[in-house]
Amino acid sequence: MVPYVTSWSDEKKLPAEIIMRTSMGISFGIAFADETAADRDRDGILWTRKPDHHRQGRPEFGNIHSRRQRRAMRLLLCQVCAQPADSDEDGVLWLLPDYYAEAQDWPENYDLAEPPICRSCVPVATRLCPALRRGHLGIRARSAPVCGVRGLVYGPSRPAPVLVGDYEVRYDNPTIRWTVADQLLRTLQDCTAVDLDQYRPAQHGHDPQTSEDQHIAAIRHRHHPPSPRP
Ligand SMILES: [Zn+2]
């Protein structure tokens, strides 16, 4: 089972020459030298060029295909099977790495690039996604507006713009005009925690993956002992 948003080895990013956009001698962003209307979305955001050769070659887990990620994110499709993500009165279902679980108010207003999930794909997503294998949470969000992109940010320079780094950039940040987008972001709002165990099928026999997950959970537990009672 290979998630819908996973890139395949025949889907190598296409090279594109980056140039500065100027108006009356003042640079205000970047463009592709041979840019066409297909390179920007309806918001005028420049998107990375990646061919669509879905399921050709080998899957590259951890490498996300920008066009399929964008489609799944826009339409709220499951990142694994591309069917509509699970939704109930508490909102759409999302799987999050638990890195920031102790931060105050998290995941309220958390920006994320991973599209949502359907119930039946929860087990496979937590097994295949490297970020989720280390620990994850289920969240339902009643609202999750599209808020920006993740991509390569460039800075003004002569003779050509210079690469600054890979960042998450919100639409209201002027840096968005200096970004080649790779993934679409949504921000989670009005969140409710979900008990994911209810979506896992009952286990029979010894599944090595389950044993490994239990092992990791045990280690995590050891490193985070419960606070002593007064
Ligand atoms: Zn699914």
Beta-bridge mates of residue 40: 46
Q: In a 3-state reduction of DSSP, which class is residue 34?
A: coil
Whole-prediction pTM value? Answer: 0.83
HEC-encoded secondary structure of 120-131: HHHHHHHHHCHH
What pLDDT is recorded for position 224? Answer: 43
Say whether pLDDT at 76 is over 80: yes
Quickly state the pLDDT bin for 203 (edges 50, 70, 90).
low
Cα separation, 43 vs 34, in Å, equals 19
Q: What percent of the chain has pLDDT over 70?
A: 87
What pLDDT is recorded for position 128? Answer: 79
What is the whole-number distance in angstroms between the Cα of residue 16 and the centre of ligand 1?
33
Quickly state the pLDDT bin for 209 (edges 50, 70, 90).
low
Say whether pLDDT at 119 is over 70: yes
What is the whole-number distance in angstroms between the Cα of residue 180 and the centre of ligand 1?
28
Quickly state the pLDDT bin for 200 (edges 50, 70, 90).
confident
Rg over CA atoms, the chain: 20
What is the whole-number distance in angstroms between the Cα of residue 127 and the centre of ligand 1?
14
What is the whole-number distance in angstroms between the Cα of residue 177 and the centre of ligand 1?
34
The number of beta carbons lying within 10 Å of the beta carbon of residue 125 is 21
Residues 6+ apart with CB under 8 A from 222: none
| Residue pLDDT, tens place only, 125-183 | 888 777 788 888 999 999 999 999 999 999 999 889 999 999 999 999 999 999 999 99
What is the whole-number distance in angstroms between the Cα of residue 226 and the centre of ligand 1?
34
Greater model confidence, 197 or 32: 32
What pLDDT is recorded for position 87? Answer: 97
What is the whole-number distance in angstroms between the Cα of residue 118 and the centre of ligand 1?
4
> What tokens were used for 227?
């606070």
What is the whole-number distance in angstroms between the Cα of residue 104 and the centre of ligand 1?
30
Say whether pLDDT at 214 is over 90: no
What is the whole-number distance in angstroms between the Cα of residue 86 and the centre of ligand 1?
8
Q: How many CA atoms lie within 13 A of 48 on its CB side?
A: 27
Q: In a 3-state reduction of DSSP, which class is residue 184?
A: strand
Q: What is the mean pLDDT of residues 6-35?
A: 93
Quickly state the pLDDT bin for 213 (edges 50, 70, 90).
low
What is the whole-number distance in angstroms between the Cα of residue 79 and the centre of ligand 1?
7
Say whether pLDDT at 29 is over 50: yes
Quickly state the pLDDT bin for 219 (edges 50, 70, 90).
very low
| Residue pLDDT, tens place only, 77-110 | 999 999 999 999 999 999 998 877 777 888 899 9
What pLDDT is recorded for position 229? Answer: 45
Cβ < 5 A residues, ion ligand 1: 78, 80-81, 118, 121
